[in-house]
Chain A
Amino acid sequence: MSGSVIQEKVAKLLSRQNGKPVLRPIKPLALKNEVASRKLKKGEATCVTEMSLLMACWKQNDFNNTVCSKEVSVFYTCVEKAQNKAKGKQGTQGRLLPKEANTLLKRFPSLSSEI
């Protein structure tokens, strides 16, 4: 119902009847059936402190892993936590990911011409 109202307004903006048209569009004034992909936010290196502790232990004990087993296990737990965080953080915060939105729009596109 509101679609026709918008079409009339757009027609008025494009018309040459009242002097020059307000809009001179290059691309068609319609929504595309896809969303632009978002820039990946650059994170920072995870678990650097644990890694440096592990390397200090290695340097002292000549890269012996049995002696440094505590640092090793701490490093592994940190890595696992970082991986889980990275996995879980992607799809939250209330918005659809661009990939998901594109899949949906491909399945339910907005019609460009009358059938």
Chain B
Amino acid sequence: MAEAEEPLFVGLSDISISQDIPIGGEITIPMRSHTQEFDSSTLNESVRNTIMHDLKAVGKKFMHVLYSRKSNTLLRDWDLWGPLILCVTLALMLQRGTVDGEKDGGPQFAEVFVIVWFGAVTITLNSKLLGGNISFFQSLCVLGYCILPLIVAMMICRLVLLAGPGPVNFMIWLFVVAVMFAWSVIASTAFLADSQPPNHKILAVYPVFQFYFVISWMILTFTPQ
């Protein structure tokens, strides 16, 4: 290959620039300029516009998680608003009123928070220590957003349980939670496993499996009174 290229570059030394050739132009990467526009203009736009912009970004990422397409939006434009909203929703839905004046043993708000965030941080640290090349916050973002299927399962389960406790309802509930658990694991694995060298893939994916299993179990043990 080197021999084929040599004739191309051999004549370069003969070129001399005698007159001023205007060398100018624009070096812009379309993507960066797009966000730069936003960055400079968010100071001037109204608060409502900023909030709607962020909410739309979060909503777009929800769609990416639900349809599990292999897109890089979650990794490139990571944000932690989505995981925060999802975690608060999950913790609120797992609360139930105190029965008979006693704490009925369900997960407290703080416990859910701690499990979700410390679990995500631990998995991220684990994946970085195993040599993955995903950044810390990207990984937190992916893990947080992939809780969305389980939130959907939780909402479906509350509706199902409104119909009354019974073995058929419980079977439906179990099936829905199992399907959403699988969806969460597959969605997050699609992002996280690619960043690992091949001999570490299972080592990196197993904690993710365990994380979503614990969240699914928290949802399954929820019995509304």
**A and B: partners?**
no
